[in-house]
């Protein structure tokens, strides 16, 4: 059973555009849930309009609390986790093929977690960080000499820079259909769309809850990717993971907390 879960807080314009893009996605999932922080009657009506079940709380649990609550509420052995600003960005046939590859890898135990954001869709990426260390030039070579551990970790971000990162770093990636197989020693956790074994991802979130104290925050709240990626635990576990060519984009049209986004809303910072 595959469950699709979306975390949402306000931003109805963005969520509506996202849900409209999911028409070709819904046949591949058995459960459809939107978890609303500060749930309202308007939220419930919007979810029902697109065939989703609305769940949530009257509180704003933030990214970490909301995502954890969403994942715990899902029933599938495979969960697809998205946020309200993650529309599908590929054609239906491409979507079907890439989801099939991801679900197959999860079901047969080759991986526990698959990143599903489109590798080259506009939106933030780690390409610039990667390019500081990898590529031609003496400056990059010196950085690799001076910080070999950092350079090695950044190899995983080659998925945002190279069409075929497995050819550039065969020690890090193995191509398997539309997936690049690797481990969490090289691939950062992301709050952007992913598919995962439900048991696996709940254990990860249990670890985050137990170890979040002292972690950096975003706007005063703990965020899963900050807790995991700025610590060593995720990397040290070397979990089997994969990066898909991807099926989701990152596009926001209202209520952004990012001041450099045209949809910035300062109330999101409160």
Stated pTM of the model = 0.88
Give the Å distances, CA to CA, from 100 to 17, 27, 80: 24, 12, 13
CATH number of the domain located at residue range(s) 2-124+165-269 in this protein: 3.90.550.10
39 φψ region: left (φ > 0), alpha (ψ -120 to 50), beta (else): beta
- Tens of pLDDT, residue by residue, the chain (270 residues): 999 999 999 999 999 999 999 999 999 999 999 999 999 999 999 999 999 999 999 999 999 999 999 999 999 999 999 999 999 999 999 999 999 999 999 999 999 999 999 998 755 556 777 667 667 777 666 776 677 776 667 778 889 888 999 999 999 999 999 999 999 999 999 999 999 999 999 999 999 999 998 898 888 899 999 999 988 999 999 999 999 999 999 998 875 444 444 443 445 444
DSSP state of 230: T
3-state secondary structure at position 261: coil
| Interhelix angle 41-49/12-20, nearest 10 degrees | 10
Rounded to whole angstroms, the Cα distance separating 231 from 140 reads 25
């Amino acid at each position: 059973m595959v469950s699709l879960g979306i975390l949402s807080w306000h931003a109805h314009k963005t969520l509506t555009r996202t849900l409209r893009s999911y028409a070709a996605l819904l046949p591949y999932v058995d459960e459809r849930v939107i978890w609303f922080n500060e749930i309202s009657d308007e939220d419930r009506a919007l979810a029902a309009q697109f065939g989703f079940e609305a769940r949530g709380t009257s509180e704003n649990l933030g990214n970490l609390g909301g995502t954890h609550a969403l994942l715990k509420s899902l029933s599938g052995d495979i969960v697809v986790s998205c946020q309200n600003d993650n529309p599908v960005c590929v054609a239906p046939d491409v979507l079907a093929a890439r989801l099939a590859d991801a679900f197959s890898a999860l079901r047969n135990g080759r991986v526990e977690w698959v990143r599903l954001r489109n590798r080259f869709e506009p939106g933030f990426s780690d390409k610039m960080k990667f390019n500081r260390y990898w590529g031609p030039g003496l400056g990059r070579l010196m950085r690799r000499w001076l910080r070999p551990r950092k350079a090695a970790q950044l190899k995983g971000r080659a998925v945002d820079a190279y069409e075929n990162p497995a050819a550039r770093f065969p020690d890090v990636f193995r191509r398997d259909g539309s997936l690049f197989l690797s481990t969490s020693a090289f691939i950062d956790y992301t709050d952007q769309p992913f598919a995962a074994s439900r048991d696996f991802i709940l254990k990860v979130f249990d670890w985050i809850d137990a170890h979040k104290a002292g972690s950096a925050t975003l706007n005063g709240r703990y965020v899963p990717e900050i807790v995991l990626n700025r610590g060593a635990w995720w990397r040290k576990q070397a979990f089997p993971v994969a990066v898909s060519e991807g099926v989701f984009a990152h596009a926001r049209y209202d209520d952004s907390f990012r001041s450099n986004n045209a949809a910035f809303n300062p109330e999101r910072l409160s």
